[in-house]
Amino acid sequence: MTLSTQLYTMLAMIGVGAWLGAAIDTYGRFLKREKRAKWIVFIHDILFWLLQGLIAFYILLMVNEGELRFYILIALVCGFAAYQSLFRYFYLSLLETIIQLVINLYRFLENLVRMLVIKPIQLLVQALIILLLGIWKFVHTILRFLLLVVWRLVKIGVLPFKWIGMLLWKLTPKVIKKYLQILFKKLEGFFTLVKNRKHSIMNRVKNFWKKR
């Protein structure tokens, strides 16, 4: 390994160490260990360190074809220590600023979509419902008025027949009246019996299906 390659490897591993410190802080910021279950934290930790190991090995592979030397570990530690002492506070402040900017941008877009898309749709639906209710109320009022007019006309049209029937009933002999009254009572009893039988049959059918 040439001297320039060793220098590039040292610089790259110092950068990887600084990256590792920033990645640990970022990971801890988003993971929030105290709010997670232990098994979830355990799985995330394994995946995180596997990813960091792959990144470090890939950079090492690009710089010196993957050769491991003792000074590489020293460079990683130096990079991590440099990040902790020089850049950590600045990075955490920058990270929080970026997070707040993203949150504010998300809230702004959410409010914008709500005002420009969702709110007009809600107003349109409400207006449509009010319009349909108004149309239904108008049609209902018209139909009710027409039915009332038709009912009045029917009553007026039936009135002469009612008078004629009352007159014929008065002119009917008493014997025929008595016979007709008996006939009407028998018909009423017959229809009452049919109605009761119908209800009895329906109740039996319902009880049969309930038992099944």
pLDDT per residue as tens digits for the range 76-114: 889 889 888 888 899 999 999 999 999 999 999 999 998
Q: How far apart are CA 202 and CA 191, in angstroms?
A: 17
Structural domain range at position 41: 3-125
> Considering its fold, how many domains does the chain have in total?
1
In a domain, 51, yes or no: yes
Q: pLDDT exceeding 70 applies to what percent of the chain? A: 82
Q: What is the pLDDT of residue 131?
A: 93
In a domain, 194, yes or no: no
- For residue 171, pLDDT over 80 is answered with no
Query: Per the confidence metrics, is the pTM higher than 0.85?
Result: no
In a domain, 18, yes or no: yes
Q: Please say whether the beta carbons of 84 and 21 come within 8 A.
A: yes
pLDDT per residue as tens digits for the range 188-212: 777 777 777 766 776 766 666 565 5
In a domain, 159, yes or no: no
In a domain, 172, yes or no: no
SS3 36: coil
Higher pLDDT, 149 or 177: 149
Q: What is the pLDDT of residue 41?
A: 83
How many C-beta neighbours within 10 Å does residue 23 have? 16
In a domain, 143, yes or no: no
pLDDT per residue as tens digits for the range 62-84: 877 767 777 778 888 898 898 88
In a domain, 163, yes or no: no
Which residues contact residue 31 at a Cβ distance below 8 angstroms, ignoring those fewer than 6 apart? Answer: 41, 44
Q: What average pLDDT is seen over the chain?
A: 82
Q: What is the pLDDT of residue 2?
A: 67
For residues 22-34, average pLDDT: 84
In a domain, 117, yes or no: yes
